[in-house]
Each structure stands twice: as C-alpha cells, then as structure tokens.
Structure 1
C-alpha cells in the first residue's frame, strides 16, 4: 500500500495532464468548427450578394438600351421597348429568387440598401415603359440608381469585413440633342 501512496502524486499528475490535454483539444476543435462555419456562411452570403447584383444589373442594362432607343441615353446598342419586354420579364423573373435568397441570408443593412437600389431600378423600368423622352429626368434616375448600387456595395463590403472599394462612378457621355 505504501508503494501505491508513493506513486499516487505521479498518477494524479498523469490524470490532470490527460484531462488538460483533452480540454485543450475540445476547445481548439470547437473554435476551429466555429471559424469554418463562419467562413462557409460568409462565402454563401458573398455568393448571394453577387447573384443579386448580377440579376439587378441585367435589368439596368436593358433599361439603358431602351432609354437609348427613346433618345434618353447614349448607350451604343439601342433596343425598342417591344424587343426589350420579354428580356425584362426574364430579368425580373431571375431577380426575384435572388432577392429571396438575399432576404434570407443578407444582413439587415444589406437588404435595406438592396431595397433602395431595386426601387430606383423599378422607377427606371417604369420610365422606360411609359416611353418618356426626357434626358434630364433619365439622368436623375441614373444618379439614384448609381447611388443605390454604391450604397449596396458599401453595405456588402461592411458586412463581409472587406476593404472599401471603388465607387464605380465613371463619367458617361451626354445625350446628343436631336
């Protein structure tokens, strides 16, 4: 019995060491799991944010082309409203699922900024569908759309902890007076 008592401190040390190692491994694995999970969700959000932007830009580009046909925009590839209508319908159909994914996975600020941007785009679509010929009003709509897009991208970058990006405000050519 005295041999057991003499070895008891060493045995207690081994048990404490094993328990400490176990706890360190469990804690490390938990932290790694949380980091990997956060990275996966961040990748998914980035994908959803990009898909929404691409879907919305399809509508924007079509409105540029129709506005060019109406004499409001200098886009080099005009498109009549009749030719654009099925393309706009397809773009809207593609935009809706992307918007639902955005609502599901996006931060509140990103979703709010997306709403501001899409509202401006819908106003551009309405302007185009009405056949309005007013380059100054069109330019005001373009500025709203560009500000909405810039706000959306800023919110996305903040949500994903990305550095500030380019505002994408390139100068455009004025519409030539007819």
Structure 2
C-alpha cells in the first residue's frame, strides 16, 4: 500500500494533465465551430445582400433604358416601354424572393435602407410607365436612387464589418432638353 501512496501524486498529476488537455481541446473545438459558423452566416448574408442589389439593379437599368427612349436619360441603349414591360415584370418577380431573404437574414439597418432604395426605384418605374419626358425630374430621381443605393451599401458594409467602399459616382453626360 505504501507503494500505491508513493505513486498517488504521479497518478493525480497524470489525471489532472489529461483533464486539462481534454478541456483545452473542447474549448478549441468550440471556438473553431463558432468562428466557422460566423463565417458561414456572413457569407450567406453577403450573398443575400448582393442578390437583392442585383435584382433591384435590373429594374434600375430597365428604367434608365426606357427613360432614354423617352428622351429623359442619356443611356446608350434606349428601350420602348412596350418592350420593357415583360422585363420589368420579370425583374419585379425576381426581386420578391431576394427581398424575403433580405428580411430574414439582413440587419435591421440594411433592411431599412433597402426599403428606402426600393421606394425610389418604384418611383422611377412609375415615372417611365407614365411616359414622362422631363429630364430634370428624372435627374432628381437618379440622384435620390444613387443616394439610397449608397445608403444601402453603407449599411451592408457596416453589418459585415467591411471598410467603407466606393460611392460609384461616375459623371454622366447631360441630356439636352426635349
């Protein structure tokens, strides 16, 4: 028995070392799991944000083209409203699922900024559907759309903890009055 008592401190040391090693591995695995899960969700949110922006930009581009046909925008590829109608409907249908995904996964601020952006885009769509030929009013809408888009992208970058990005302001040629 005295041999057992002499070996007891070594045995306790081995047990403490094994327990410590086990706890270190468990904590390391938990930390890795949390990092991987966070990265997966960030990737999903980025994909949702990009899909929504892409679906909204389809409508924006179509309204540019119709406004160009009406003489209100300098877009180089004009498109008549009749030709754009099915494309606008398709863009609206494609926007709905990406909007739902945005509501589900997006931050409160990004969703709010997306709502502001889509409201301006819908106003642009109403403008061209009414076949308005007012370059100044169209330019005002364009400025509002760009500001709303910039706000959305800033909210997305903030949510994903990215650096501030480019405002994408490219000077466009002016449209001569009709």
Equivalent position of 2:45 in the other structure: 45
Equivalent position of 2:59 in the other structure: 59
For residue 61 of structure 1, report the CA deviation from its aligned partner.
0.2
Equivalent position of 1:142 in the other structure: 142
Equivalent position of 2:2 in the other structure: 2
Equivalent position of 1:19 in the other structure: 19
For residue 168 of structure 1, report the CA deviation from its aligned partner.
0.5
Once the two structures are superposed, the pairs formed by residues 71-86 of structure 1 within 5 Å of their partners are 71-86=71-86
List runs of 5+ in structure 2 lacking aligned partners.
none
Contact 2:135 2:177 in 1 (8 A): no
- In 2, the alpha carbon distance for the partners of 1:43 and 1:79 equals 36
Once the two structures are superposed, the pairs formed by residues 89-128 of structure 1 within 5 Å of their partners are 89-128=89-128
For residue 169 of structure 1, report the CA deviation from its aligned partner.
1.0
- In 2, the alpha carbon distance for the partners of 1:164 and 1:4 equals 67
Question: When the two structures are superposed, what TM-score results if normalisation uses the length of structure 1?
Answer: 0.98
For residue 133 of structure 1, report the CA deviation from its aligned partner.
1.1
- In 1, the alpha carbon distance for the partners of 2:97 and 2:12 equals 61
How many residue pairs end up in the alignment?
178
- In 1, the alpha carbon distance for the partners of 2:76 and 2:164 equals 31
List runs of 5+ in structure 1 lacking aligned partners.
none
- In 1, the alpha carbon distance for the partners of 2:17 and 2:35 equals 27
What's the RMSD between the two structures over aligned residues? 0.6
- In 2, the alpha carbon distance for the partners of 1:96 and 1:147 equals 22
Contact 2:59 2:121 in 1 (8 A): yes
For residue 177 of structure 1, report the CA deviation from its aligned partner.
2.7
Equivalent position of 2:87 in the other structure: 87
For residue 83 of structure 1, report the CA deviation from its aligned partner.
0.6
